[in-house]
């Protein structure tokens, strides 16, 4: 066995493990997308055949291969099993394996059909899997969550908030814990030059390579970004205050009277047209269509602006206070854990804030709900995992994804629904930013007239 193969073998073994884990996550996603819209428990009862209700054994639950062995039919009642199950499992498995390979196996100078695929991975991945695996866990959890949210939103025009909270919690725990661990191992860090951490520990030298402005595995304000940290923490505190005001009914949630209005509207429309009761496909029972008809969207946006005011106010106060208190000294650097925390929180605020701003502006301009709050929570989760830059790019890229889908649907189906869920477009655009970094940087370089493209942290 050659020396190069011996070095590559552990990586290939890990690749197989990560790919198999992706298949298992895909199996879990199949459970989530079936049970969550129905309000069922996602843990119990155990999986059963939807036709004969027989409890499935471990053999039927093997991701991908279980369906192939059964030839797409239930072993007990011979009912057909949807091909969606192995397709989802395969997609997630390939997604997990591809990300791991691109991040840790493909050489930096590799290219495919002229595309520099070796440059897709972020700079922090060059430090190796042993040093950066927590960041990889965050990324894979986000990708799995996006797949689940995409399927559910495409079917129901609804994104379960539980799916948006999981990646946020994982990002906080792993990104912050990773930074604390690294600083504990290295001790007092010094910034040799922008983007490179250097430190000494037990006669071992650690070097952490990132791009300027990133510092860690997430875009941040840097070691001297006290104002950035203050804005992030202040905005997060403001959201806590807003939720407390909501809980104690100082302010009321938006669209609180929607159900009552929808019931009255449905009764009125059915009275005018009895055929609606017999043909659901032609009636206004579709939730997305009913949301479009709601006439008080502008009024409800005022409530959402009131909800966001504490976050905006405390963000300004926090930025001013941290800049004055800690940023006055040009050599006073923030600890790495605080830099990482600021990156996660700011990503959450900006990722969700950009979508929320468009939601409010669009609803006021057109008098109809422009975007759902599920989209806000989705992109907030993307920001918490990837930082504030990627979700901002993905949000504007999603518009082009939506236009492409609308054109394809018009050509092949001949019609479009009045209300299309935007979450799938956001998820696809996010994956395009993650997996198409070189092309995104070149495109932004053309927009901002930067030769060679922008260098996105």
Nearest to 233 by CA among 354, 332, 335, 338: 338
Using a pLDDT cut of 90, give the percent of the chain over it: 51
**198 has a pLDDT exceeding 50:** yes
- pLDDT of res. 14: 94
Name the least confident of 123-127, 189-193, 323-327.
Answer: 189-193
Crossing angle between the packed helical segments 129-156 and 423-435, to the nearest 10 degrees:
160
Name the least confident of 102-111, 197-206, 316-325.
Answer: 197-206
Are 136 and 103 in contact by the 8 Å Cβ rule? The answer is yes
CA 358 to each of CA 165, 179, 218, 361, 420: distance values in angstroms, whole numbers, following the listed order: 22, 33, 25, 5, 16
**276 has a pLDDT exceeding 90:** no
- pLDDT of res. 315: 98
Q: Is residue 129 very low, low, confident or very high in pLDDT (cuts 50, 70, 90)?
A: very high
Q: Taking the mean position of all CA atoms in its chain, how far away is CA 57?
A: 33
Are 98 and 139 in contact by the 8 Å Cβ rule? The answer is no
- pLDDT per position as a tens digit, 340-399: 999 999 999 999 999 999 999 999 999 988 889 999 999 999 999 999 999 999 999 999
What is the rounded distance in angstroms from the CA atom of residue 415 to the CA atom of residue 406? 9
Domain ranges of the chain: 3-105, 180-447
Neighbours of 187 (CB within 10 A): 11
- pLDDT of res. 355: 97
Are 119 and 162 in contact by the 8 Å Cβ rule? The answer is no
pTM: 0.91
Name the least confident of 12-16, 306-310, 406-410.
Answer: 406-410
- pLDDT of res. 278: 46
């Amino acid at each position: 066995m050659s020396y190069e193969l011996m070095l590559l073998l552990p990586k290939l073994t890990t690749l197989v493990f990560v790919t198999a884990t992706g298949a298992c996550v895909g199996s879990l996603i199949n459970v989530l997308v079936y049970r969550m819209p129905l309000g069922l428990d996602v843990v119990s009862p155990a999986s059963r055949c939807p036709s004969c209700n027989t409890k499935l054994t471990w053999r039927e639950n093997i991701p991908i291969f279980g369906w192939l062995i059964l030839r797409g039919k239930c072993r007990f009642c011979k009912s057909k099993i949807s091909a969606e199950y192995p397709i989802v499992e395969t997609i997630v498995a390939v997604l997990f394996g591809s990300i791991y390979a691109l991040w840790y196996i493909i050489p930096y100078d590799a290219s495919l059909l002229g595309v520099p695929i070796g440059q897709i991975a972020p700079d922090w991945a060059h430090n190796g899997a042993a040093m950066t695996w927590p960041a990889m866990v965050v990324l894979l959890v986000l990708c799995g969550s996006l797949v689940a949210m995409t399927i559910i939103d495409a079917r129901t025009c609804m994104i379960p908030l539980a799916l948006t909270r999981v990646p946020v919690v994982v990002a906080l725990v792993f990104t912050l814990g990773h930074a604390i661990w690294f600083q504990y191992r290295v001790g007092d860090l010094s910034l040799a030059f922008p983007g490179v951490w250097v430190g000494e520990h037990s006669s071992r030298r650690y070097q952490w390579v990132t791009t300027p402005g990133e510092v860690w595995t997430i875009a941040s304000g840097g070691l001297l970004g006290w104002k950035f940290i203050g804005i992030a923490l202040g905005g997060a505190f403001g959201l806590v205050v807003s939720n407390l005001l909501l809980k104690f009914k100082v302010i009321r949630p938006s669209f609180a009277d929607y159900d009552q209005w929808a019931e009255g509207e449905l009764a009125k429309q059915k009275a005018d047209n009895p055929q609606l009761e017999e043909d659901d496909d032609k009636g206004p029972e579709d939730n997305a269509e009913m949301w479009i008809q709601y006439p008080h969207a502008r009024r409800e946006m005022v409530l959402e602006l009131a909800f966001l005011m504490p976050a905006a106010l405390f963000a300004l106060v926090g930025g001013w206070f941290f800049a004055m208190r800690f940023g006055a000294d040009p050599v006073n650097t923030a600890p790495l854990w605080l830099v990482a925390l600021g990156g996660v929180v700011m990503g959450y605020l900006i990722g969700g804030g950009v979508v929320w701003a468009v939601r409010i502006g669009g609803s006021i301009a057109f008098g109809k709900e422009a975007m759902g709050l599920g989209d806000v929570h989705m992109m907030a989760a993307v920001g918490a995992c990837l930082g504030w830059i990627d979700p901002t790019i993905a949000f504007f890229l999603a518009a082009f994804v939506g236009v492409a889908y609308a054109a394809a649907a018009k050509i092949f189906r001949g019609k479009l629904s009045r209300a299309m869920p935007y979450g799938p477009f956001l998820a696809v655009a996010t994956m395009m930013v993650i997996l198409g970094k070189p092309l995104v940087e070149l495109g932004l370089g053309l927009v901002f007239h930067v030769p060679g493209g922008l260098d996105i942290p």
